Chain A
Amino acid sequence: MLAQANAQLRLTSIVRAIQLGVVVILFGGWVLITSSHAVNPLFLPGPLAVAGALAHLTVTKAFWGAVGVTAFTTAVAYAIAVTAGIVMGFFIGRSPTLTAAYRPVLAGMFAIPITLFFPLFVVMFGLGPGSKIAFGALYGFFPVVLNTIAGFAGVEPLFLRSARSQGATRIQALRHIFVPGAWPVVLSGLRIGFFITFASVLGGETLSSASGVGHAIAHEADLLDSPPMFAWIVIVLVASVALNLTLSFIEKRAVRS
């Protein structure tokens, strides 16, 4: 047991070292390329310039305003995606007929680049958060609904037969078999859905918007002011990594118990 634990520990540290190595190489490459003036600083400013812009940016009111808009838009869009996805996924996944009918349709729709319809959303819901909410909610809905269907449709029928023979009511079967059985798959759909919603909101803001983080990035790009643009990108990167770590942690905890 101990030898096994040691081997596991060694494997983990090797994996961590490789991951750290990738980060070091990327950052080192950035420093090297920019300090040797191999590329125009207009396209890729050095880390110091970006850090300076970052320090400037985070103390402005406009910064927190943009972050607030994007956070709000993402939260509303995600809430809609999750509610619609889980409710629909539950009803479809419980019925083999509906699953057979709708699963391929929804998977097919998810494969369409919905970004193409974004201009339509702007026409319908305007330049404000409305169009981004609709766009993010629609895109994030698909992974949630597809995983919810997969989760509920994949519940072992023998467990249900056994529970029925023991006299389980519908509510009891739902509570003790359907929900815990479907939960891990639903949860990973929720995680994927979140990042798709987040990316769609940012993308929508970049394409056409009057506010938000995506809008700020596009705005700096229009002004050819690359240090603040990269400062924004660094913020989005850090936020994504932090959110991903948090959600993965929650997912692992929830699935284990």
Chain B
Amino acid sequence: MFAKTRKTLTRLAMAACFSTVAVVAQASTELTMYYPVAVGGPLTKIVDGLVADFMKENPDIKANAIYAGNYNDARIKALAALKAGEPAQLSVMFSIDIYELIEQDAIVAFDDIVSTSEEKAWLESFYPTLMQNGRTAGKTWGIPFQRSTIVMYYNKDAFRAAGLDPENPPATWNELVEVGKKLTKADGSQWGAMIPSTGYPYWMFGALTMQNDQVLMNNAGDTTYFDAPATVEALEFWKNLGSKHKVMPEGTIEWGTLRKNFLEGKTAIMWHSTGNLTVVKKKAKFDFGVAMLPASKRRGTPTGGGNFYIFKKTTPEERVAAMKLIKFMTSPERSAEWSMKTGYMGVSPAAYETQKLQDYVKGFPYAAVARDQLEFATAELSTFQTGRVRKLLDDAIQAALTGSKTPAAALQEAQAQAKRLLKPYR
């Protein structure tokens, strides 16, 4: 009889053990993600807040978001962590890092993860222009998260002081020059316009070339058009703003201090990422406006910002969890919240249809400028060997702006070297 009790007890104990193990095994999937911050503001706090909300809704997933610096740092960190065998399941990285990541065999295409038709529809729910940088070879590799376009911020008070109509910002290159001349003060205390040429000069240049109806690279990422006539024209225009028309300081203009310059009234117009919108709104002591960038042959701007990527070295459970996190962070409600707190765009039409973003746009119409500009937007410069190719263009732009080379010469050199770098990929 005791033997029977013992048997039962043993069975019960084993059942208890197994169920504990089962519970433990099911407990949490851990996710580590790196993300960059490239515009001002307490973005790390906002990201932490979003992630905390996600964990509340998904108690079986533990997500750890690590701030990695700027876009370059984030890519370096994420790839370095992977190489060193440290787990990171997903990350927000530059939308244009896609070719490098594919080459390093680091990421997995979303097409290979989504299975249900609902999920496939979710892939199509974002703005197509924002998806451009995340797609290649017929697959989707990046999901938009902190996306932006360049917009033109302008100082309405300065416009009024110069006798210009504050509701009529320049809409063409010629108007920009005219307006700029009126806004530039002779004593140097106020410039007409500033377009930054450090940090991400190629990005600003992408706007100018698009406005001249010229793209900088092809879809396959293996050809660049740096020395096309329209490209050279765009760089000459940029240079002339400073050297000929004197509406902009000559030489390079620092990305990091540009917003401060605008807020201090050193420049009446600045071209900058829409990601600065919320900070400008908070800190501007003057009446300011935001408008689409002026057109040459057409309006144009590159998209910018970071996408979510999922790394290849992930287990199926981790991928499921990562997908949940990405869906959460890019959901219309969260995207709306993110957009309001930072100035980045809502990434899907649905985001702009949420009540809170609708109300926000109604009260602050400038929040919709970036979205409206999407119509004229193009993908950001992205090719194989993207770091080097970008640097070639950056150097050429800076050489032209500082007068060391003519725009044509600088761009021709850059094109020749880019061609050499990309040859193996064609």
Q: A and B bound?
A: no
